[in-house]
Structure 1
């Protein structure tokens, strides 16, 4: 595929899809490379710039030279009787050929150069002489040059190049939309990657709690046997263990769902993937994300907002449509100038062309064409529609910029809040760990009940889950802010070396 040559090479160099599991850890960078190379949605979108560029070529081809040729042949043979009962006969043989080239120019004019040759031969039967008489052979050649220039409608470069400029704007939109798709994919792949990591860590936490619950159940049974606790304590320990097993079952399902989501984004989810496939990924980062000054983030977002760039291109396309709609209101007044060198010969076409090249004869002509639809209702209506669409597009551009401001403010606040929650969650985990250890010691010394110990364990579990929530929320907020700010490529050390080709460093 042409779109991501480097990413594709990386994907083929280190394929990672297996039927059951992934022995090696899949890094975030590797997941991004494979997504850039294989994501189906991105591969579909990556064709749009090429399609749009072909549309530009199609519009530019309207100014390419055109070679033409024509050939006509007609013959007739007629017999009739006159008033004296005599038979008359006439024959005719007419042939014409033309070869030339025409080219449209950006002013709207059409230039045509051609070489023409015609042959006429006719005769009639004289019954008195008993033979065909008359009908001298006539060969005519001409070398012609004609230029037709619209004077009102279709006049000027602005009008005639408007379709080309509009096609080029549409090509830029296709490129911007592809860039948008790349940014969205990078955001989605990173978010999906860390959600899978979060699912694994939750499963590991539940597994650790399961082992602790099994240990507490053994201790409770032993204490019951020694008469140090009641049957109720043992039942509570058994119920607690059952809850831990249920949590692990749900965690395993979450892992599989998150794995499918990641494989789908990397374009490698197909019927060969086992239903219980696992992908090993990195753990959630434990460090707090950095947060730049809001004004810096806002300025970066304004500079890198593809949606507003796309809307500005739409305004450019509508401006070209306005030029064309305004042009359609003008009357058609076309002026044609033509000039030819001609040659005649009663013998051969070659002689007639020699006469033409020697400029033995010439002719010229002027033609003026006028055409104006009555009332011009259709053209006027089209122009008004275009002007209304321009007003809509300008309002939409203002709305996009307003939405961007709101989105940046919200994303910046979200990351700021998440960072604070992460710091608080770390403190709560430290507190709950100390509390649980204290209650466990008191329980072993007979100074606390099993219920209080279970409550301390649940509080610790909840604190650890809240810490995972805070870690995931922080990194998701960081990813979202990078997307809004337009720094996603820099975040993953990706450079956009051409209009449709991002490469990894």
Structure 2
């Protein structure tokens, strides 16, 4: 029989070999970008008599604070973050306990049974600690105790206690081997969280672009209303002048009728421009104050950021669109999500490849038992490994045909290819949008300059024609024609400036840096 010191050294040697295989307690790796969304400071708003004055910056901040769609994405991001953190609980210790009490009788089967009718009263309890390891293996510690009392006269100790202790380690060597496979669910959860972050960022960029468009549409509508009101005043002045001339007998009633008809048309245009202002006002409020609060909907918005002066409008200085594309490829949320989709598919592929392999598991078990009429002696005997048992072995199994795993691997490879194609498609779309956005911005800058030149020429033409009309060398019809041309030129100039600001916002948006 092995002496106690030798058994103790053997047990210590076994634990010395096993312990390095056990990793430290699993930590929750922080997913890249695991930070709270930046908090935007509430803008100082000026509300007076039901009117709210807003700069473009204040409008953008309000939208980020109040948008329901963005709030939904933030909640979805929180859900993904918590699920990613919780997935690491797969490597927490698992505690299990079992307790039973058994009272039984059985008829003696021989004269050596110890009694004619054997009675047993047994209390059993077991405790288990199990933990999955990031190497793919499992470590478990087991302890059980049996307290038994019987009328069997051949039992050495009655009542007696039997204790058992066992430590076991199982490590896959083929299927399920390695941390990349064992932590695949956690990697997937973190990638899903990162995708949720990028989706929120993309939703925020889309929101800022919509708010920017709505803001400049409202500015444009108010500018066009101002033009319509000015043109109506011009028509009213012309009508008053024609009436005075007619009263003096220097023109005909036809010219007065022309002026009256022109005034009616200008009034119609003014009413349409007023309707456009109210419509644009509501569309902007839809982005800033979603909901059904009556006070918010009844508030009139007054944009205070003006359209740029023509002299300040410049075309983009960077003539190399490839630089813009490089910025877009790095920053666009849709591209980041697509690339994370490739990583997600690759993680699933590694899982599928591992599942196709045969099962070959290494098992190491060290156990010991103790038996005594005293519970403390049985416990000490078991944990001192006075009577140890050591087992080391391999478990092998392989499914014949293995069709499920084989086709699952092929499907996973196809998913990687699909995710790669989606990235290529998104990059192609990004290149097209970048080129178009830069082309549109350059065009709108040129359109502003052309519209400003046209407006200046129309103004000079109108002033000259009005002077000729006062001298009696021009007809009323010609003056009204030049007034129409001037109004149209003013409207085109306003539209060009508003379109330039919208093109500038889109130029930033297609690069993925709007609001950053």
1:10 corresponds to 2:42:
yes
Distance 1:79 1:231 in 2: 134
Larger CA deviation: 237-246 vs 408-417: 237-246
Distance in 1 (alpha carbons) for counterparts of 2:513 and 2:401: 55
Equivalent position of 1:459 in the other structure: 485
- Structure 1 residues 74 and 366, CA, compared in 2 at 3 Å: closer, same or farther? farther
Count of aligned pairs between the two proteins: 472
The alpha-carbon deviation at position 366 of structure 1 amounts to 4.3
Unaligned runs of 5+ in 1: 125-131, 495-505
For residues 47 and 408 of structure 2, the distance between their equivalents in structure 1, rounded to whole angstroms, comes to: 55
Alignment correspondent of 2:191: 169
Partner in structure 1 of residue 308 of structure 2? 285
CA distance in 2, matches of 1:314, 1:40: 26
Tell me, in whole angstroms, the C-alpha distance in 1 between the residues paired with 2:80 and 2:47.
34
Tell whether 2:355 aligns with 1:323.
no
Deviation at 1:373, TM superposition (A): 3.0
* SS of corresponding position for 2:360: strand
Cα RMSD after superposing both structures: 2.6
**Residues 190-205 of structure 1 aligned to structure 2 (within 5 Å):** 190-205=212-227
Q: CA deviation at 1:69?
A: 1.5
- Tell me the secondary structure at the aligned position of residue 206 of structure 1: helix
1:248, CA displacement in angstroms? 2.0
Q: What SS does the corresponding residue of 1:270 show, helix, strand or coil?
A: coil
For residues 86-105 of structure 1, the C-alpha deviation after alignment (integer angstroms, 9 at most, x for no partner) is x9543222222122321111
Post-superposition offset of 1:43 = 1.4
CA distance in 2 between partners of 1:17 and 1:122 (Å): 90
Q: Which whole-Å deviations, capped at 9, do the CAs of 1:120-163 have from their partners, x for residues lacking one?
A: 32337xxxxxxx99793231112220111222211112211222
Structure 1 counterpart SS, 2:223: helix
1:260–1:269 CA contact under 8 A, matched in 2: no
Given candidates 120, 133, 137, the residue that maps to 2:159 is 137
Instruction: Give a deviation string over 1:382-418, Cα, whole Å, max 9, x none.
Output: 1111111211222222222222111111111111111
2:457 counterpart residue number: 431
Q: CA deviation at 1:372?
A: 2.9
Partners of 2:335 and 2:427 within 8 A in 1: yes
Matched, 1:22 2:54: no
Contact 2:45 2:54 in 1 (8 A): no
State the shift of 1:358 in Å. Answer: 3.6
Distance 2:37 2:140 in 1: 46
Distance 2:487 2:50 in 1: 29
Q: Give the match for residue 104 of structure 2.
A: 76
Matches of 2:412 and 2:328 in 1, distance apart? Answer: 30
Structure 1 length-normalised TM: 0.87
**Residue 8 (structure 2) aligns with:** none
* CA distance, structure 2, for counterparts of residue 15 and residue 225 of structure 1: 54
Q: Name which of structure 1's ranges 311-320 and 284-293 shifts more when overlaid on structure 2.
A: 284-293
Task: Write the mapping of 1:138-287 to structure 2, written as runs, cut at 5 A.
Answer: 138-273=160-295, 277-282=299-304, 283-286=306-309, 287=312
8 Å CA contact 1:109–1:150 kept in 2: the answer is: yes
State the alpha-carbon separation in 1 of the partners of residues 475 and 131 from structure 2: 98
- Worse-matched range after superposition: 467-476 or 149-158: 149-158
3-state SS, counterpart of residue 485 of structure 1: coil
More deviation, 103-112/352-361: 352-361
2-structure distance, mates of 1:46, 1:274: 24
